[in-house]
Each structure stands twice: as structure tokens, then as C-alpha cells.
């Protein structure tokens, strides 16, 4: 038999679980903030969940770790949601607390914006006692040659952006499809940050000029992810103006629509880089269309646009 420690079934039982039952603990670490603020759900933080996981390990001999990841910092929308330092620590933690296996929900294939996180998770799942920094240093050196240091700086920049997001005073693990999360993403992913990221990838390209072609191709792959992120932020900014005007700011409605045409094209042309569901009715986007875009028919009508313009 199997059971999930999830939602109402998450609290630790008073008695030990029968040995014939496999329990899968559904958590959010390593991608949520450190501690749950008391005015919200106090068990939403990373440390509280890890303590609860440890208590579960004392009640059952067959425990799985089944986290919901990339729901909490925009990762399902393709934003660079990663926490490499916490991944090393947390994979070792679950190994040391009775975990017999793991499987992870939420991996949607955004290799150009979350690739290092996928890689480190896979390596630490195979051997949770690896040195995470050594693993990633090897990843950058073998993957990007002379640009290894610059690519490392690039991902550190994006990891720090995600860290500032999940430690923001207004942050809560909003979950899938939260407009409040889109608003925070808009605040964190500034033009200054995006320009820094573009400059680092341009520097990396220069560093591998004349080197074997695969290095430049891999950097170009990352540029696709950054282009996507940049377009998404531009779309969010345009949709802010669309909402504020009720669609009467025609230029913003047109701009947001054009940006989503570019986003859709980028996703269609690079499915291994960004695997964003394009259906606006999908659960990834249904609740945030007015924040992410594209503009709804109502907004287009208010702007005096037809459905095909």
C-alpha cells in the first residue's frame, strides 16, 4: 500500500505507520523560503517542512520524498527558479533521514532556464554525499570550456534573483497561477538585472570564440532562455499598463500581443529550451492571463482591436 503525506494528511501521526505502507511526503523544499511567517501558514517554510519530514521518518520505515518543485518562484512559467546551495543540503538531509526513494513533481523541461538545477538534483539523487560545488564546477568546465567562470557567474546572478524573490517581505508560496507571484517577479527581474545577464552571456560567447563549436552552441542555448525571460518580463510590464487602463491603452495592448507572438514563436522553435504550455486555458496560465498575457478579447475590444489584429 502507499499513501501521501499531503495537504490534510501531512500532519505526523501519533502512532507508527505499518511496515506495509509506503509514505510519500509532499514538500516544497529546497525551493521555498527558510521559515514560514507566523501570520501566514507557519508550516510553509523550508525549515518547518524539513522538521516535519524528519518526524515522519521516525514514524515509518518506508518513506519517499515527493516534492512539488518549480511552483513557487515562477519556474512553471519558465523563469529561472533554482537554489543550488539548498539542493545539496536538502538532498543529503532526506538521505540521512530514512528516505528510500524520491520522485519530483513539476519538472516541465525548461532546460535553458533551470538546467543546472535539474542536473544537480539528478546527481545528488544518485549520490547525496557528493560535493555540490565540485559537481557544478565540473558541469561548467566540461560544458562551457574557457567560459566556465562567466557561466557560473550568470547562474549565480539568477539564483540570487530567485533568493531575493522567496525572501521578499510580501512573498508566500503562492502556488500555481498566482497573480501576486507575477507582481513580485516584475519587481525582482528588473532591466538592470536582465542587462547584467545579457552582458555575462555576451562575455561568455567572446571567451569561447575560436574554441570547439559545442561551447558556443551551449551558450546560444542559454541565450534562448534569457531571451524568453526578458520577453516574459516585458509582457508582464505591458500587461500592467493594459490592466491599469482597462484595455484603453491601445499601444500597450498591441505591444503585449506582439510580445506573446514572439514568446510563442520562441517556444515553438526551441522546445528543448523552453517547454511552456501555449494554451491560455492551461492551469499554468489560466489564472494569470491578465498579468502574463496575452491580452484577453475584452481588453482587445476595449482597445478597438479585432480578434485577428
**pLDDT tens across 204-227, in order?**
999 999 999 999 999 999 999 999
Burial class (CB within 10 angstroms; exposed 0-12, middle 13-18, buried 19+) of 82: buried
pLDDT of 109: 87
Q: How far apart are CA 186 and CA 206, in angstroms?
A: 30
pLDDT bucket at 169, cuts 50 / 70 / 90: confident
82 backbone φψ class: left, alpha, beta (φ>0; ψ -120 to 50): beta
70 or 263: which carries more pLDDT confidence? 263
Q: Is residue 203 a contact partner of residue 150, using CB atoms and an 8 Å limit?
A: yes
pLDDT of 35: 61
Report the range of poorest mean pLDDT among 10-24, 74-88, 277-291.
277-291
Measure Cα distances from 62 to 99, 188, 205, 262 in Å. 7, 40, 48, 48
Query: Is the pLDDT at 186 greater than 80, yes or no?
Result: yes
Q: Which residues pair with 59 in a beta bridge?
A: none
Q: Sheet of 99-102: strands edge to edge?
A: 2-5, 22-25, 63-65, 99-102
pLDDT bucket at 277, cuts 50 / 70 / 90: low
Phi, psi at residue 107, to the nearest 5°? Answer: -80, 105
CB neighbour burial string for 138-158, b if at least 16 within 10 angstroms, e if fewer: ebbeebbbebbebbbbbbeeb
Q: Is residue 285 a contact partner of residue 230, using CB atoms and an 8 Å limit?
A: no
Q: How far apart are CA 255 and CA 9, in angstroms?
A: 46
Give residue-wise pLDDT tens across range 58-101: 989 889 999 988 888 999 899 999 999 899 999 999 999 989 99
pLDDT of 114: 95
**pTM reported for the whole predicted model:** 0.93
Amino acid at each position: 500500500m502507499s499513501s501521501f503525506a499531503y495537504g490534510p494528511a501531512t500532519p505526523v501521526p501519533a502512532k507508527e505507520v505499518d511496515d506495509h505502507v509506503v509514505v510519500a511526503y509532499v514538500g516544497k523544499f529546497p525551493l521555498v523560503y527558510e521559515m514560514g511567517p507566523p501570520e501566514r501558514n507557519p508550516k510553509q517554510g523550508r525549515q518547518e517542512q524539513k522538521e516535519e519530514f524528519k518526524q515522519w521518518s521516525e514514524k515509518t520505515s518506508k518513506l519517499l520524498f515527493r516534492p512539488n518543485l518549480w511552483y513557487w518562484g515562477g519556474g512553471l512559467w519558465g523563469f529561472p527558479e533554482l537554489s543550488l546551495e539548498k539542493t545539496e543540503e536538502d538532498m543529503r538531509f532526506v538521505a540521512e533521514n530514512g528516505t528510500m526513494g524520491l520522485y519530483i513533481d513539476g519538472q516541465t523541461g525548461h532546460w535553458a532556464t533551470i538546467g543546472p538545477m535539474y542536473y544537480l538534483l539528478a546527481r545528488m539523487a544518485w549520490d547525496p554525499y557528493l560535493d555540490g560545488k565540485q559537481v557544478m564546477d565540473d558541469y561548467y568546465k566540461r560544458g562551457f570550456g574557457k567560459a566556465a567562470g562567466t557561466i557560473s557567474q550568470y547562474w549565480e546572478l539568477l539564483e540570487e534573483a530567485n533568493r531575493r524573490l522567496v525572501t521578499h517581505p510580501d512573498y508566500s508560496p503562492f502556488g500555481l497561477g498566482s497573480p501576486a507571484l507575477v507582481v513580485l517577479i516584475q519587481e525582482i527581474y528588473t532591466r538592470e538585472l536582465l542587462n547584467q545577464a545579457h552582458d555575462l552571456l555576451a562575455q561568455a560567447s567572446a571567451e569561447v570564440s575560436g574554441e570547439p563549436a559545442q561551447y558556443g552552441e551551449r551558450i546560444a542555448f542559454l541565450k534562448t532562455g534569457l531571451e524568453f525571460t526578458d520577453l516574459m518580463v516585458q509582457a508582464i510590464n505591458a500587461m500592467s499598463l493594459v490592466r491599469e487602463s482597462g484595455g484603453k491603452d491601445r499601444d500597450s495592448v498591441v505591444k503585449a500581443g506582439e510580445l506573446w507572438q514572439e514568446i510563442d514563436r520562441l517556444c515553438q522553435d526551441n522546445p528543448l529550451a523552453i517547454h511552456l504550455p501555449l494554451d491560455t486555458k492551461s492551469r499554468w496560465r489560466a489564472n494569470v492571463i491578465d498579468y502574463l498575457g496575452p491580452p484577453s478579447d475584452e481588453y482587445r475590444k476595449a482597445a478597438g482591436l479585432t480578434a485577428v489584429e
